[in-house]
Amino acid sequence: MPSQLASGVALAMIAVIVWGAQFPIAKSAFAFVDPYHVSAIRYVLGTLLLVPVVAALQGPNSLRYYGRLWPASLLGLIGMTGSPLLVFAGLSLTGPEHTAIIISLQPSMTAIADWLVRGRRPTRFTLACIVTAFVGVVLVVTRGGAATSPGREEWLGDILVLAGALCWVAYTMGTELFRGWSTLKLTVLTLIPGSIGLVLATAALVPLGVATVPTGSAMQMVSGQLAFLAVVGVAASFICWNAGSRRIGALNAMLLLNLIPVVTFTIGFLQGRRFVLSELVGAAMVIGALGANNLYLRRTARAAAARAAAIGDNRPRPA
């Protein structure tokens, strides 16, 4: 139905815009509160908001692990502790645009990891798109060797963001072990141990001098950013994304995810950030390659469904 398609696209786009905006918003908060405390506060608040939502939508039993507490906790520590901790630590050292571009590579990294771990080789077209996207990332990160090439701190930030993206790839692949759990249930039941892990990790970094307990005035300065990152960036965006994906399908939703860097670059431009040509070309290569591969996967899926339907129609029927 057209109305279902339109509402699905709108819901998914809300999540995409939020996720694209969260990097510059989080970056602005780091001037007052370190990225570790921002991550911990954001995920704890988001989890507290999502738990009653899941219980209301899917019943109290949806919050039970049914003997799978430890594997779900391990998955949560990888995806909901390691990934945000590393991404936000890297974001504090590099630019929001670099972060968004590197994060956008996660589907390509997942395809490569799936090939290496499970032997599912991507098609030649997908591999060509992956190579193109990686070349685009190199252009963005290095700025094509321009005079304003990144310094050592920015390089470290990019590496940390990449490590966080790899943690999310491992999380994504691990979700296959939880077939039968809804996306929302899996999200919340991994968010709970992940949030606990973030709190413990941040607490451990304080005596090491890496993290600093924020003052009341500092928290007041970033209250707006924290509210956005927790309420909108975690709770509301997950709900919108799940609802939108169900209405338009996973492949269509993944196509919209390619717009996250566009949102981040647009916000950077509006804030007065000016990009060198290689950054814009590289970003276009990444977005174009990922979008082309998504369209290719959609066409392949439709062709496979048509073949399956044709085979079913041609099977001999009992007399």
Please give the Cα distance from 21 to 144 (Å, whole number).
Answer: 25
Domain boundaries of the chain, sorted by first residue: 2-309
Average pLDDT of the segment spanning 178-187: 87
The mean per-residue pLDDT over the stretch 56-75 comes to: 92
Mean pLDDT of all residues in 272-284 = 86
> What confidence category does residue 69 fall into, taking pLDDT thresholds of 50, 70 and 90?
very high
Q: Give me the chain's average pLDDT, please.
A: 87
| pLDDT surpassing 90 at residue 315 | no
Q: What is the mean pLDDT of residues 126-147?
A: 82
- pLDDT of residue 253 exceeding 80: no
Q: Coil, strand, or helix at residue 262?
A: helix
Average pLDDT over residues 259-275: 87
- Burial state string for 81-106 with b = 16 or more CB within 10 A and e = fewer than 16: bbbbbbbbbbbbbbbbbbbbbbbbbb
The SS3 call for residue 34 is coil
Residue 298's pLDDT is 78
pLDDT attached to residue 25: 94
Q: How far is CA 288 from CA 66, 257, 302, in A?
A: 43, 12, 21
Residue 317: band (very low, low, confident or very high) from pLDDT cuts 50, 70, 90: low
**What pLDDT band is residue 175 in, cutting at 50, 70 and 90?**
confident
Nearest to 166 by CA among 251, 253, 102, 92: 102
Residue type, 61: N
pLDDT at 127 over 60: yes
Task: Give this prediction's pTM.
Answer: 0.86
**Using one digit for the tens of pLDDT, what is the confidence trace for 237-252?**
888 887 887 787 766 7
Q: How many CB atoms lie within 10 A of CB 52?
A: 10
**What pLDDT does residue 228 have?**
94
Give residue-wise pLDDT tens across range 14-50: 988 999 999 999 999 999 999 999 999 999 999 999 9
Residue 306 has pLDDT above 80, yes or no: no
Taking alpha carbons only, the member of 307, 247, 243, 301 closest to residue 123 is: 301
pLDDT, residue 8, reads 82
Q: Read off the pLDDT of residues 151-165 as tens digits, 9 standing for 90 and up.
A: 778 889 999 999 999
Q: Which stretch of 234-243, 245-254, 305-314 has the lowest confidence by average pLDDT?
A: 305-314
- Structure confidence at residue 88 (pLDDT): 95
pLDDT at residue 157, as a whole number: 93
pLDDT top residue among 155 and 312: 155
